[in-house]
Chains A and B, each alone.
Chain A
Amino acid sequence: MIRDFEGVIIKTVCRALVPFIQLYGLYVIAHGHYSPGGGFQGGCILAASFILMALAYDINEVKKRLSEKMNTIFCSLGVIIYAGIGILCLILGANYLDYGILHKILPADPAHARSLGILGVEIGVGFTVMAVMVSIFLNIASGGEHEGEEN
């Protein structure tokens, strides 16, 4: 997990599996507002793809693709998207996270604007959950010893 190891079957299978897992996670996020699933579950599936890569290769392979700085940026970006949509509704004159009012700035009727608003919130939740889950796993698996950028 921390050290690299030789296992060509595990590495090849995991490498082939990761894009499909990520595509499924994006599907779950994109369809979260009117079918089972949503930001939390989709974010967990996206994080699972990175965790699979950390298990099959090593932690540095994950950090090469999703560095600690990018992880922190994703983590706060999701909260900003969530709170930003809420405050945008507040600015436009409705309650916090009352998406119906977004039809003033979106080219859609109120019902459609409500659907688009909750889709934006799901995307924000997905970003944050993915970043936090990957961060927790990297900290547990390395014992908190991977602080900062090593290489």
Chain B
Amino acid sequence: MIWQLDILLLIIVVICALAAISVKDLLSSAILFGAYSFLLCLVWAEMGAVDVAFTEATVGAGISTAFFIGAIYHTSRRTKD
């Protein structure tokens, strides 16, 4: 474990999370959420939980982003609120 790398990754994770909930474009939000998942995967791999990191990479960054894109395809791309 390198705590400097931990802090750096966690800061980027928080920035990605705030960007994902504040952006108006839903497709950008889905892609930012995928980036958030991938950075969280890096955090877990760096902390030594390789199996959890693997699950996060496949489900969080891979499958759920595709699900979000499939759902956004059926609605309007811009949010009203």
Contacts and interface: CB of A to CB of B under 8 A. Distances in A.
A28 B51 CA distance: 11
Contacts of B69: 1, 55
B59 to A, nearest CB: 6
A86 interface: no
A51 B70 CA distance: 10
A7 interface: no
B51 A44 contact: no
A36 to B, nearest CB: 4
A62 interface: no
The bracket for how many chain B residues form the interface is: 10 to 19
A48 interface: yes
Interface in B36-62: 50-51, 53-55, 58-59, 62
A41 B50 CA distance: 12
B70 A140 contact: yes
Interface of A: 1-2, 28, 36-38, 40-41, 44-45, 47-48, 51, 55, 133, 136-137, 140-141, 143
19 contacts: A1-B69, A1-B73, A36-B51, A36-B53, A36-B54, A44-B58, A44-B59, A44-B62, A44-B63, A48-B63, A51-B63, A51-B66, A55-B69, A133-B63, A136-B67, A137-B67, A140-B70, A141-B70, A143-B74
